[in-house]
Amino acid sequence: MSVSKARKNKSDPLSDLPRWAQKLAQKYYTKTVATFLLYGAVRDLQPLTQEDGSRGYGTIKTFLAEELFGGRDHVIFYDRSSGIRASSPETQKDLQRAMTGYDAMYGTDYAKSLPRDPGRALQILENFLRIRLSEGKSMALIIDFAETLVPGGEMSHLSAEDRFVVATLDKWAHDPNFLSNDISVVLLAENLADISPRISRNPYVAPIELPLPTEEERLDYVRYKLEGKKLQSVSDVPLAALAKMTAGLSRINLDRVLTEAIERDIRVTTEQLKEKKKEIIQAECHGLLEFIEPNNNLDSVAGHGKAKEMLRHAANALKKGRNEVMPMGYLISGPVGTGKTFMVTSFAGEIGIPAVKFLNFRSQWQGVTESNLERIFTLLKALWPVAVMVDEADTFLGNRDSGGDSGTSSRVFGSIASFMGNTQYRGKIVWFLMTARPDLLPIDLKRQGRAEEHLALFYPQTDAERDELFKVMQKKTGVTVDVPSFASLIPQGTRQFSGADIEAVMVRAKFKALAEGREQVSVDDLKAVLADFIPPSYPLEIELQNLVAVQECTSRELLPEEFRKLDRDEVTRRVRELKMLLEER
């Protein structure tokens, strides 16, 4: 491959290129591919080698033109907005001469102003490429914002111009003249799902992902950015910690953080960095993910002793770097109000990793849902280790048989299942599927290799557990009241209280005290509220949620005694019965 002059003097000019660039070069050398589709972090900065051997950074187009294709005779750029441009004055003059000849032959006036629309621009480019190839010249054509030229979707839904572009690029991809000569056509797009399948799945097109920078690459960039400055004058966070804490950020994002610190004299602190990172990532995801920075660990979780013990063992394995023993994911089931979400965020806090929560990534517009999902996956791969929370997983993730939307839901489900089951991410991306109805979750997601461990959470079973939960809720609500035993205040005959019920009682007691002109909640306030409080009662629904959690649980130790001794066949029979009763209502 024709590389820059700065690299030609090295024994292996490709050795210090980014891995994606090495992959592109290797595919080029096979002479079986001349068209490349680069997707992912194509808007990020890339490392450049200066003539004196020093390190710099520039855009992807600069990197391609100077680093990979620096030895080519001609490098040309094209996109809908800027039109056709040459990377050097010499190529620009050559292009101008070629257009003068084109105008004379076809009666056009392109020498004065090159067209920007794809229909005419690609015809001009093809004419120029073929003429120069016949002269033995080496060429590179870089087409940016490729999703605006060959958008995803069915061919029948594309405009005539879009179909022409798809056909043209498809023809170039397997053209023997292009494959046998020194020419490369590079398409740039942020998301692979935004590109027409006729191009992205074409066997003559090589899709190559540009990942977000690794910890080592972020460290290199921070050193470059702070060159000549003392870190202590800018940041309270050590260099290595700064690189580690910025997982999921691009170099451009890093530049924003550091430039703000340098120019506005704002010191980078741990808290400020966490807040900035959360802000940037949520903006980058366009509301597809909620970034949760855990403030608690498993010590803050009341009850659920066996479940906490299992999660602590997992946390210890992650701290020791023993990813190979980690489950791919967890299914957390149990009735509403048992603290499933709090348990997961506390696990993330136990080992100090970020947690993200899936928001609604689906869209009514064709191709947007797949594009959103691709953006989420790209970020998760850069954020690891990370805990991924999916609430109400039974309804949120869909299933393989979803229909009525041209197959989008089934494709999305397949993509999620495939990503969850990729063992390359074991211990790096830990999935937590939370649901009160695990029986409605497709088997594809809760089998071994995906959500492998099934933990079941239940309401407090003993007075000691209720009192423990009460103490936790005191901290959460800010209600301080000295009572020997909260459980003893609960009226006889009242059904088991969930954590949400206890929290509601404490908030009402605080409201009662405030209404009477007092700041301090008394024991009498609690008694009065408990005597009046009628917990929402859905006995059949709660029984069903308990029993399906028992069915799904993969550890006997997690089950309370009353559920542990139940006959499995009897549980199955009762679940069927409850479902019939609820459907009749």
CATH number of the domain that residue 445 is part of: 3.40.50.300
Same domain for 487 and 558, yes or no, is yes
In the prediction, which pLDDT does 120 show?
92
Residue 223 structural domain: 215-284
The pLDDT value recorded for residue 153 is 75
Q: Are residues 201 and 253 in the same domain?
A: no
Are residues 25 and 140 part of one domain? Answer: yes
What gap in Å lies between CA 100 and CA 112, rounded to an integer? 9
- The set of residues, in sequence order, having a beta carbon less than 8 Å from that of 74 and lying 6+ positions away, is 86, 91, 94, 132, 137, 138, 139, 140
Contact 385, 326 (CB under 8 A): no
Claim to verify: residue 268 and residue 411 sit in the same structural domain:
no
Three-state DSSP state, 109: coil
Of 437, 456, 475, which one is at a domain's C-terminal end? 456
CATH code where residue 542 lies: 1.10.8.60
Please work out, in degrees rounded to the nearest 5, the angle formed at the alpha carbon of residue 65 by the alpha carbons of 248 and 204. Answer: 80
Q: CA torsion 237→238→240→241, rounded to 10°?
A: -30
* pLDDT on residue 7: 53
Chain-centre distance of CA 122, in angstroms?
35
189, 210, 231 - which closes a domain: 210
- The answer to whether 422 and 288 are in contact (CB under 8 A) is no
How many other CB atoms sit within 10 Å of the CB of residue 519?
Answer: 7
Give me the pLDDT at residue 364, please.
Answer: 58
Residues 6+ apart with CB under 8 A from 175: 34
Residue-level pLDDT, tens digit, the chain, 585 residues: 555 554 555 556 667 789 999 999 989 888 889 999 999 999 999 999 877 777 889 999 999 999 999 889 999 999 999 999 999 999 999 999 999 988 888 888 888 889 999 999 999 999 999 999 999 999 999 999 999 999 987 777 788 899 999 999 999 999 999 999 999 999 999 988 889 999 999 999 999 999 989 889 999 998 888 876 776 677 888 888 888 888 888 999 899 888 888 887 778 888 888 888 878 877 777 677 888 777 788 888 888 888 888 988 888 888 888 888 888 999 999 888 888 888 888 888 888 777 888 877 766 565 677 777 888 888 788 777 888 888 888 877 766 655 555 555 677 777 888 888 888 888 888 899 999 988 888 888 888 888 888 999 988 888 888 888 888 888 888 888 888 888 888 887 666 777 788 888 889 999 999 999 988 888 898 889 888 887 767 788 888 988 999 888 888 888 888 888 888 888 899 989 888 888 754
**Count of domains observed in the chain:** 4
- Of 149, 184, 210, the domain-final residue: 210
**d(C-alpha 494, C-alpha 485), whole Å:** 16
Q: What's the pLDDT at 363?
A: 60
Domain match, 341 and 490 both = no
For 384-411, the DSSP string reads -SEEEEETTHHHHS--TT--SSTTHHHH
Residues 319 and 446 reside in one and the same domain: yes
User: Are residues 341 and 423 both part of a single domain?
Assistant: yes
Strand blocks (E) in 211-328: 289-292
49/91 same-domain check: yes
Structure tokens, 547:
């029993």
Q: Is residue 210 helix, strand or coil?
A: strand
Q: Cis ω on the peptide bond leading into residue 354 (within 30° of 0)?
A: no
Residue 406 has a pLDDT of 52
Residues 497 and 421 in one domain: no
Report the chain's C-alpha Rg in angstroms: 30
What is the distance between the alpha carbons of residues 406 and 131, in angstroms, rounded to a whole number? 44
Backbone angles phi, psi at 387, to 5 degrees: -100, 130
DSSP state, 157? G
Could you tell me if 509 and 428 lie in one domain? no
- Contacts of residue 34, defined as CB under 8 A and 6 or more positions apart, other chains included, come to 28, 172, 173, 175, 178, 179, 183, 184, 185, 204
* Same domain (yes/no): 55, 165: yes
CA dist., res. 355 & res. 390, Å (int):
11
Same domain, 251 and 141: no
Q: What is the pTM of this model?
A: 0.74
3-state secondary structure of 37: strand
Please say whether the beta carbons of 245 and 237 come within 8 A: yes
What does the block give as tokens for 578? 């409850």
